[in-house]
């Protein structure tokens, strides 16, 4: 069984994915975390998204794995990066790296190979449209920008990361814009996806709706 969850930034995709995976006893894979790990890898090497030569040269040395569990542990070349990929520098850059077809190709292959090991719930932007077009069930999540900004602010502040409302909102809008308009696998709402607008739903309501 493959459950695909796509949608805009900060609309609770990972929360729903985690809850469904726990309820159904299957694996949750946060594909956004993989794009974040790629971003950290290139940022550490000072390779910018417009340096395609540098990206092509360094991609073979990139190793990402997700260790499923209560929360997805993200490994980048042997290091645990679960927390560091949530930093604001990564938020600022991730969509610019996620546009690059070579990067997407590598991650899509990895995502497909992960699902060969058993049933998964995978969340992201192109899971129902590109990675698993034949997924058992597809969800498309959305919420208004105010709700999403407040949720992301609360998440950052809970981690002790200082954040301002307007800056967080601007980052979400910019990422949505890039993610929805890129040439390679843009975020789209699949015709066969179940749409959930969770602006007015709490986590438990959302899980009830999905189940
Ligand atoms: O879900 P997230 O906010 O952690 O994802 C970070 C970025 O990664 C997002 O802005 C776009 C990109 N992404 C993508 O292009 N395709 C995916 N399947 C998942 C994420």
**Which atom from ligand 1 is nearest to the alpha carbon of 99?**
15
Query: By alpha-carbon position, which residue is closest to atom 9 of ligand 1?
Result: 95
Pocket mutation for ligand 1, best pick of 125, 139, 141, 148 (most atoms within 8 Å of C-beta): 125
Pocket mutation for ligand 1, best pick of 94, 105, 110 (most atoms within 8 Å of C-beta): 94
pLDDT for 41: 98
pLDDT tens, the chain, 211 aa long:
999 999 999 999 999 999 999 999 999 999 999 999 999 999 999 999 999 999 999 999 999 999 988 788 999 999 999 999 998 899 999 999 999 999 999 999 999 999 998 999 999 999 999 999 999 999 999 999 999 999 999 988 888 888 899 999 999 999 999 999 999 999 999 999 999 998 887 777 777 777 7
What distances in angstroms separate CA 139 from CA 6, 13, 126, 182, one per listed residue?
A: 6, 9, 11, 21
Query: By alpha-carbon position, which residue is closest to atom 13 of ligand 1?
Result: 32
pLDDT for 162: 84
pLDDT for 54: 98
**Distance from Cα 79 to the centre of ligand 1, integer Å:** 21
Query: By alpha-carbon position, which residue is closest to atom 15 of ligand 1?
Result: 98
**Distance from Cα 124 to the centre of ligand 1, integer Å:** 6
Establish whether residue 176 lines the binding site of ligand 1, counting it when its CB lies within 6 angstroms of any ligand atom.
no
By the 8 A CB rule, do 198 and 141 touch?
yes
Which residue carries 């070349």 as its tokens? Answer: 77
Establish whether residue 7 lines the binding site of ligand 1, counting it when its CB lies within 6 angstroms of any ligand atom.
no
Query: By alpha-carbon position, which residue is closest to atom 14 of ligand 1?
Result: 125
pLDDT for 201: 74
């Amino acid at each position: 069984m493959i459950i695909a969850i796509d949608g805009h930034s900060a609309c609770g995709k990972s929360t729903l994915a985690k809850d469904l995976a726990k309820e159904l006893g299957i694996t949750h894979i946060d594909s956004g975390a993989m794009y974040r790990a790629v971003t950290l890898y290139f940022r550490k090497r000072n390779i910018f998204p417009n340096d395609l030569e540098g990206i092509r040269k360094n991609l073979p040395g990139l190793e990402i794995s997700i260790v499923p569990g209560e929360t997805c542990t993200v490994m980048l070349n042997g290091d645990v990066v679960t927390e560091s990929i949530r930093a604001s520098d990564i938020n600022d850059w991730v969509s610019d790296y996620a546009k690059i077809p070579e990067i997407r190709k590598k991650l899509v292959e990895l995502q497909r190979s992960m699902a060969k090991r058993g049933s998964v719930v995978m969340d992201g932007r192109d899971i129902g449209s590109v990675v698993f077009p034949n997924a058992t069930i597809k969800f498309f999540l959305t919420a208004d920008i105010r709700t999403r900004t407040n949720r992301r602010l609360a998440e950052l502040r809970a981690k002790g990361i200082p954040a301002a409302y307007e800056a967080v909102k601007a980052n979400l809008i910019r990422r949505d814009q890039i993610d929805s308009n890129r040439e390679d696998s843009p975020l789209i709402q699949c015709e066969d996806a179940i749409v959930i607008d969770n602006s007015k739903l709490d986590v438990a309501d959302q899980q009830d709706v999905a189940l």
